[in-house]
Structure 1
Amino acid sequence: MAESAKELDPTTLKAFEHAAAGHHGVMSDPSGELFIKPSATQEIHFYQQTFSEHEEFSELIPTFMGTIKLGAPDVAAIQQLPEVSEAQKQQALSHGKKIKADTAIVLENLEYGFQHPNVLDLKLGSKLYEEGTEPEKAARLDKVAAETTSGSLNFRLAGMKVWNGGSYDIYDKFYGRKFNADNVKDGFATFFSGLVTGLAKDDALHLLELIRAEIMKIRDALEHTESRMFSSSILVVYEGDSKTLNALMTGETRTSGLDGRAPTDSEVQENSDGEDEDEDDPPVAFQVRIIDFAHASWTPGQGQDDNTIKGLKNIEKQMDQLLAQLG
């Protein structure tokens, strides 16, 4: 891993340009290996508690490396950001309001190492806010849920980006809000289209099954813990570069570990020449994690989080439909 959280200099941070959804204002380190997100106390505490008290669940979320203070030095970082187009500004606005916080959590960047990561953010739950939320905000979120698949399926497409071979097709939160329970399968088909067209049928089926298995693993973990994770998301990333994806899904790499990064072009060549892979950092074709814990907490004695679990079950059903169509 690159710099530790303690060694990060806030003045060297840059804007994170490839978020599929979520708040703008998030950043990365110069290497792109770390994801830096301004966060309130509740999210920081959730990460700290998870990694100290819920070791098994910590494997299902982005690796937490600590926190850094932003504050005044953040001004210097903002001044160093490259100029962005008006379209990029509008895209950032579509992701949500900037988080107001002077402390940021430092996480692994789940997109790091992929040649062209395809990214899907699935917002979980029909109730999207915790108790004590301001009535005006609660009413607004209830309206969003009632008008989208958040209300009917306990999840909705919050955003995604798909590599089309030359650039990214970006689908913002308004794209996801147009679906209903009957046609949301079309959004999944669009996201996984590169996987289906870029791989042999058996390899595409295998990768879809692996992704579904990771989603089921998260659901199973929540069914055996007591928590409330309002407005958390499932993040799915898979390699959008067809040449790299095919290299990953052939030979021994087809069944390599589920965690890690996709290889660089030179590593793909090395693997094809028969050189050993780094056993400590195996290449993978995809990542699946549950993310976004600004309104999450561990709640002993309150039972499982049915609000979130129902959404995960319905996502699994969407994956089952894709598998049935491809099979």
Structure 2
Amino acid sequence: MSSWTSSPLPLSSQVGGHPGILATEDGSLIIKKALPLELEFYQTHALDPAFGPLRPFLPKFYGTLKLEGEVDGLNTDPLVSIVLENLAYPFSKPNILDIKLGTVHDNNTSLPVVTPKTYGKSIKVADLPDGIARFFPVASSPSLSSDPTKTSIRSFGLPKSILLPILESLREDITELLEAFQEVHLCIVGGSLLIIYEGDWERAAEGVKRFLFDDENSNESGGKKRSGPPYTLSLIDFAHTRVTPGQGPSQGVLLGLSTVRKLLDGRIEQVRHAEV
């Protein structure tokens, strides 16, 4: 366990579901107060070979810190916090969805459009397809050319040629996560499925080429920052997670993942037939 004596910064986009999460100065790591079960999960269970198939879908865990400081002039007891990778860090314009919270970047203004938690809490089952379409919109532009990264007029979402392979690959990953989760004896209460995808057209297109199509010739040149993945899919929030030997996985989590996969199936068909 390390001690942290400088001042971490508040995380600008709360990728973790709770206020009060801090970030390192460069933004690559997040620091959050460690609740006992979540700390146990990352320190013990996440390292257990039995949970190996889930590991690709978990945030990288870098250990713990003791945050020291003052409140109203009084020294406070050190708080034990966990240090995790900031899943949004590789993205230029991250579109973030964690069950009930989503943001979508407006490419006309380069500002995020926030969908509040109240939207997710009030949405009805019948409206879920509209909700997933809202998070994965197809960009429309009257000047859209054969090269979608060169167009001068942009709107919400990504061009069909970029969005469709992201959706198809994301669907494959959810299937892999479903299969992995079916093999563990784990009860997750209050966990989240976090989806982030790149909203910047150039970086999203580059990410699709480099990560999904294995295009070795798609590396950027001229000193530009190398693009990150086009999307990530992760399980987060393990404050109420317990290992349940002999009881299998949380049925609610399995149902939730299956529902997300069905919603993606529907959105994939919509995008395939979209006229843009």
Which TM-score tier does this pair reach, normalised by the shorter chain? 0.7 to 0.9
Instruction: Return 43-52 or 200-209, whichever deviates more.
Output: 200-209
Could you tell me which of 57, 61, 84 is aligned with 1:60?
A: 57
- TM-superposed CA distance for 1:11, in Å, is 2.7
Could you tell me which of 145, 163, 167 is aligned with 2:111?
A: 167
1:11 to 1:273, Cα distance in 2 relative to 1, 3 A: closer
1:119 to 1:307, Cα distance in 2 relative to 1, 3 A: same
Flag as ranges the 4+ runs of structure 1 deviating above 6 A: none
Q: Which amino acid aligns with 1:108?
A: E
- SS of 2:114's partner is strand
Cα contact 2:57–2:234 (8 A) shared by 1: yes
5 Å-filtered alignment, 1:136-215, equals: 158-165=100-107, 166-193=110-137, 199-215=158-174
Tell me the TM-score normalized by structure 2: 0.80
Corresponding residue for 1:29?
24
Distance in 1 between the 2:267 and 2:85 partners?
Answer: 29
Distance in 2 between the 1:34 and 1:195 partners?
Answer: 31
Distance in 2 between the 1:195 and 1:49 partners?
Answer: 44
- TM-superposed CA distance for 1:167, in Å, is 0.4
- TM-superposed CA distance for 1:49, in Å, is 1.7
Q: Which amino acid aligns with 1:174?
A: T
Distance in 2 between the 1:287 and 1:74 partners?
Answer: 37
Corresponding residue for 1:113?
90
- SS of 1:326's partner is helix
- TM-superposed CA distance for 1:245, in Å, is 1.2
Corresponding residue for 1:9?
4
1:22 to 1:274, Cα distance in 2 relative to 1, 3 A: closer
- TM-superposed CA distance for 1:57, in Å, is 1.8
Cα contact 1:228–1:298 (8 A) shared by 2: yes
Instruction: Figure out how many residues of one structure are paired with residues of the other and give that number.
Output: 246
Cα contact 1:218–1:290 (8 A) shared by 2: no
1:322 to 1:50, Cα distance in 2 relative to 1, 3 A: same
Could you tell me which of 230, 233, 246 is aligned with 2:192?
A: 233
1:269-310 residue CA offsets vs partner (Å, 9 max, x unmatched): x924499x98xxx83111110000000111111122111101
Distance in 2 between the 1:74 and 1:48 partners?
Answer: 28
Distance in 2 between the 1:304 and 1:244 partners?
Answer: 37
Cα contact 1:11–1:74 (8 A) shared by 2: no
Cα contact 1:198–1:246 (8 A) shared by 2: no
Q: Which amino acid aligns with 1:161?
A: T
Could you tell me which of 219, 230, 237 is aligned with 1:271?
A: 219
- TM-superposed CA distance for 1:193, in Å, is 1.3
Residue 41 of structure 1 pairs with residue 36 of structure 2: yes
Instruction: Return 201-210 or 159-168, whichever deviates more.
Output: 201-210
Could you tell me which of 246, 259, 272 is aligned with 1:314?
A: 259
Structure (1 or 2) with the greater strand fraction: 2
Instruction: Return 195-204 or 53-62, whichever deviates more.
Output: 195-204
1:10 to 1:168, Cα distance in 2 relative to 1, 3 A: farther
Cα contact 1:232–1:293 (8 A) shared by 2: yes
- TM-superposed CA distance for 1:25, in Å, is 0.7
Could you tell me which of 46, 66, 81 is aligned with 1:69?
A: 66
Cα contact 1:11–1:73 (8 A) shared by 2: no
Cα contact 1:50–1:58 (8 A) shared by 2: no
List runs of 5+ in structure 1 lacking aligned partners.
77-100, 123-157, 258-267
Distance in 2 between the 1:190 and 1:20 partners?
Answer: 19
Cα contact 2:105–2:157 (8 A) shared by 1: no
RMSD value, Cα: 2.8
Cα contact 1:10–1:74 (8 A) shared by 2: no
Q: Which amino acid aligns with 2:197?
A: Y
Q: Which amino acid aligns with 1:177?
A: K
1:75 to 1:68, Cα distance in 2 relative to 1, 3 A: farther
Distance in 1 between the 2:82 and 2:139 partners?
Answer: 32
List runs of 5+ in structure 2 lacking aligned partners.
73-77, 141-155
Q: Which amino acid aligns with 1:204?
A: L
Cα contact 2:91–2:228 (8 A) shared by 1: no
1:75 to 1:211, Cα distance in 2 relative to 1, 3 A: farther
